[in-house]
């Protein structure tokens, strides 16, 4: 289920990359609906849909972006339009968004995304992929602001052990 952050205060709440809920918010207007998110997690938790790129004012569809220039402090630039740089725009959005996430008990991120990837985002330097284990700019900011928040990315949800451990951690966070 997808509800306002202001409702159902007694239920643990998860931030979720919105494309995982089946909403067509990706750069190419596609979705990445995930059965575990829509099934097991939706049955247990209140899901708060967040698409940082759309909320930052980028449209649907929009130019694809990628992490570039530096592994530790990458910029967010156009995949096919290198002159496009939305780093400042995303940073400004993130600064305003982060305080609103204080009531979350966990977060499910979309893997490989330059905004939402947790441990799987590629970084490009001079047109060459130099790592595929970096973190999207929004996911990085969330994890820095809320280091105790249980987080997972969709590629891990099909592991029963990892999923169970995440669910336990969300419940524990909600009780604390």
Binding-site ranges for ligand SF4 (CB under 6 A): 17-19, 25-26, 51-53, 110, 113, 115-116
Q: Could you tell me the smallest distance in angstroms from the CB atom of residue 173 to ligand SF4?
A: 21
| Residue among 52 and 150 whose Cβ is closer to ligand SF4 | 52
Closest CA to 15 of 122, 131, 94, 128: 94
Q: Could you tell me the smallest distance in angstroms from the CB atom of residue 79 to ligand SF4?
A: 13
Cα-atom radius of gyration of the chain, to the nearest Å?
16
Decide if 138 contacts 101 (C-beta within 8 A).
Answer: no
| Residue among 65 and 167 whose Cβ is closer to ligand SF4 | 65
Closest CA to 36 of 170, 139, 162, 171: 162
> What's the burial of 26, exposed, middle or buried (CB within 10 Å: 0-12/13-18/19+)?
buried
| Residue among 142 and 167 whose Cβ is closer to ligand SF4 | 142
| Residue among 32 and 146 whose Cβ is closer to ligand SF4 | 32
Decide if 52 contacts 90 (C-beta within 8 A).
Answer: yes
Q: Could you tell me the smallest distance in angstroms from the CB atom of residue 51 to ligand SF4?
A: 3
């Amino acid at each position: 289920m997808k509800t306002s952050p202001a409702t159902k205060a007694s239920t643990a709440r998860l931030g979720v990359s919105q494309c995982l809920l089946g909403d067509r918010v990706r750069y190419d207007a596609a979705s990445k609906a995930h059965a575990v998110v829509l099934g097991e997690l939706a049955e247990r938790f209140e899901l708060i849909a967040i698409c940082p790129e759309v909320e930052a004012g980028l449209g649907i569809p929009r130019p694809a972006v990628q992490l570039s220039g530096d592994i530790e402090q990458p910029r967010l630039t156009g995949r096919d339009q290198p002159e496009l740089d939305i780093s400042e725009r995303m940073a400004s959005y993130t600064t305003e968004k982060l305080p609103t996430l204080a009531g979350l008990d966990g977060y499910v991120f979309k893997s490989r995304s330059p905004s939402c990837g947790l441990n799987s985002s590629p970084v490009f330097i001079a047109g060459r992929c130099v790592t595929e284990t970096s973190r999207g700019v929004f996911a990085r900011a969330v994890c820095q602001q809320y280091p105790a928040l249980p987080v997972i990315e969709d590629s891990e949800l099909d592991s029963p052990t990892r999923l169970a451990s995440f669910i336990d951690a969300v419940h524990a966070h909600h009780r604390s």
